[in-house]
Amino acid sequence: MEELIRKAEEMGINVEDVLIALISKNDPKEEVRLRLEVARKYMAECDKYLKEGDPVQASEKAYKVAEELVKALAEKFNLEEYQKALREGRWYVYSLGSAAAKLSQMLGNWVIDGWDSAYALHVWGFHEAKWTINDILSRVERVRKMLEESEKVLNT
């Protein structure tokens, strides 16, 4: 099973996206609920890695929180980026950034603050592995605020 998932990811297939889409096919509201649940799971994992002193994994989990939240919010508001992801069968990072900018105009700066912090964590905390726990803490907190605010929006 792990090899199957690894091969799919090497091909650019986001396994979680595929599973969420299949599970929620008959109930679009289910996709938003599942993405919020996944975001909460990633936030808990981020907190675990912070406590363990692992800035690389904490950074990537925080990024995954923001990624899931942008996708859920984009679906809730039926943004053009969401429609494009449906047509193309995947999300692109530039589309997530575009959706975050639009959502920020609709909902407040907490969206773009969370997304921009998460993207910086993804690049400098995870891929480049240049940041320490102290370097990532304030950005993780912006992502946490994004989760808290998103819960208010997505649960109404």
Determine whether 129 is exposed, middle or buried from the number of CB atoms within 10 Å of its CB (0-12, 13-18, 19+): exposed
- The yes-or-no verdict on residue 15 having pLDDT over 90 is no
The pLDDT confidence band at residue 23, using thresholds 50, 70 and 90, is low
Rounded to the nearest 5 degrees, what angle is found at the Cα of 57, between the Cα atoms of 52 and 63?
130
More confident residue, 141 or 21: 141
- In this prediction, residue 66 carries a pLDDT of 98
Tens of pLDDT, residues 25-82: 666 677 889 999 999 999 999 999 999 999 999 999 999 999 999 999 999 999 999 9
- The closest of 69, 72, 80 to 102, measured between CA atoms, is 80
Contacts 24+ apart (CB under 8 A), 140-144: 140/46, 140/50, 140/58, 140/59, 140/62, 142/110, 142/113, 142/114, 142/117, 142/118, 143/43, 143/46, 143/62, 143/63, 143/65, 143/66, 143/114, 143/117, 143/118, 144/43
Q: Look at residue 2 in the predicted model and tell me its pLDDT.
A: 74
Cα–Cα nearest to 54, from 146, 131, 141, 144: 131
Please give the pLDDT value at position 5.
Answer: 64
Determine how many CB atoms are found less than 10 A away from the CB of residue 56. 17
